[in-house]
Chains A and B, each alone.
Chain A
Amino acid sequence: MKKWFVMTMIAALFVVAACSGNNGGNGGNASPTANGGSNTPTENPGNAGDDDAELTPEAGASLVIWDANNQAQFLQEMGAEFEKEYGVPVKFEEVGNTDQVNKLMTDGPAGLAADVLLFPHDHIGNAASAGLLLPNTAFEQAVVSENAEKTVKAVSFDGILYGYPRSVETYAMFYNKDLIAEAPATFDDIFKFAETFNDPANNKFTFAWELQQFFYNFAFLASQGGYMFGDDNTNSEDIGLNNDGAVAGANLMVEIKEKLLPLNTGDIDFDIKKGLFLDGSLALDVNGPWAIADYKSNGINFGVAPLPKIGDNPMTSFSGVQAYYVNANSKYPQAAQLLARFLSTKEAQMKNFEMNSLLPSNEEAANDPAVANDDIVKAFLQQFENSTPMPSIPEMGSVWNPITSAISEIWNEGKDPKTALDNAVEQIKSSIGTN
Chain B
Amino acid sequence: MMKRHRNTAAILSVALQGLGQLYNRQWLKGIVFLCVQALGLYYLVPRLGHAIWGLVTLGETTQKFVKVGKSTELVKGDHSIFLMLDGIIVILVLLVFVLIYALNIYDAYQNGKKRDEGKAVRDFAASWNHVTVNHFPYFMLFFPVLGVLFFTIMPILFSIMLAFTNYSAPNHIPPAKLVDWVGFQTFIDLLQMKSWSNTFFGLLVWTVIWAVLATVTCYFGGILVALLIQSRGIRFKKMWQTIYIIPYAIPQLISLLVMRNLFNAKFGPINQYFAYFGLDGLPWLTDPFWAKVTLILVNMWIGIPVSMLLALGVLTAIPRDLYEAAEVDGATSFQKFRIITMPYLLFATAPILITQFAGNINNFNVIYLMTGGGPAKGDYQFAGSTDLLVTWLFNLTLVNNKYNMSAAIGILIFIMIASISIWSFRRTKSFKEEDMLS
Contacts and interface: CB of A to CB of B under 8 A. Distances in A.
Interface of A: 5, 8-9, 11-13, 16-17, 19-28, 31-33, 35-44, 47, 49-53, 55, 102, 105, 109-110, 125-126, 129-132, 134-138, 203, 212, 263-268, 271-272, 275, 328-329, 333-334, 337, 393-395, 397-398, 401-406, 408-409, 412, 423-424, 427, 430-431, 434-435
A99 B74 CA distance: 24
Given A135-B65, A212-B374, 8 more contacts: A5-B106, A20-B45, A264-B265, A403-B378, A405-B376, A405-B377, A427-B379, A434-B195
Given A21-B49, A23-B45, A50 B176 contact: no
A43 B65 CA distance: 9
Contact of A126 (B51, B106, B170): B170
Contact of A27 (B53, B73, B399): B53
A356 B71 CA distance: 31
Contacts of A38: 62, 64
Contacts of A408: 286, 375-376
Interface in B22-70: 44-53, 57, 60-70
Contacts, number: 237
A271 B261 CA distance: 10
B61 to A, nearest CB: 5
B170 A24 contact: no
Contact of B72 (A8, A12, A17, A135): A135
28 contacts: A8-B10, A9-B102, A11-B14, A12-B14, A20-B44, A23-B45, A23-B46, A31-B60, A33-B60, A35-B60, A37-B176, A39-B176, A41-B72, A47-B69, A102-B398, A126-B401, A130-B169, A130-B177, A135-B65, A138-B70, A267-B266, A267-B267, A334-B71, A393-B170, A408-B376, A434-B189, A434-B193, A435-B170
Interface of B: 10-11, 14, 44-53, 57, 60-74, 76-77, 79, 82, 94, 98, 101-102, 105-106, 109, 168-171, 173-178, 189, 193-196, 261, 264-267, 283, 285-287, 374-384, 398-401
Nearest to A36: B62
B285 A266 contact: yes
A5 B105 contact: yes
Given A37-B176, A427-B378, A31 B61 contact: yes
B61 A397 contact: no
B71 A264 contact: no
Given A12-B14, A329-B74, A434 B50 contact: no
Nearest to A8: B14
B72 A137 contact: yes
A20 B48 contact: yes
Contacts of B287: 412
B267 A424 contact: no
Nearest to B3: A1
B253 to A, nearest CB: 16
Given A20-B44, A28-B57, A131-B175, A430 B63 contact: no
Nearest to A267: B266
Nearest to A200: B266
B282 to A, nearest CB: 11
B110 to A, nearest CB: 11
B283 A28 contact: no
A28 to B, nearest CB: 5
A129 B176 contact: yes
Nearest to A396: B170
A8 B60 CA distance: 35
B170 A37 contact: no
Nearest to A55: B71
A169 B51 CA distance: 48
A392 to B, nearest CB: 11
A333 B73 contact: yes
Contact of A266 (B53, B101, B261, B374): B374
A321 B290 CA distance: 39
A367 to B, nearest CB: 28
Nearest to B11: A8
A39 to B, nearest CB: 6
A406 B377 CA distance: 8
A38 B77 CA distance: 12
A21 B90 CA distance: 13
B153 to A, nearest CB: 20
Nearest to B45: A20
Contacts of A265: 286
A327 to B, nearest CB: 10
B63 to A, nearest CB: 6
Contacts of A275: 267
Given A9-B105, A28-B57, A23 B170 contact: no
Contact of A20 (B49, B68, B102): B49
Nearest to A6: B102
Nearest to B173: A130
A271 B10 CA distance: 75
A21 B177 CA distance: 26
B82 to A, nearest CB: 7
A116 B52 CA distance: 35
B68 A44 contact: yes
A424 B380 CA distance: 11
Contacts of B266: 263-264, 267-268, 272
A137 B82 CA distance: 29
Of the candidates B45, B63, B77, the one having the most CB atoms from chain A within 10 angstroms of its own CB is B63
A35 B382 contact: no
Nearest to A128: B176
Contact of B67 (A44, A268, A404): A44
Contacts of A5: 10, 105-106, 109
Nearest to B48: A20
Contacts of B82: 109-110
A53 B70 contact: yes
Contacts of B70: 50, 52-53, 137-138
Contact of A424 (B102, B196, B375, B378): B378
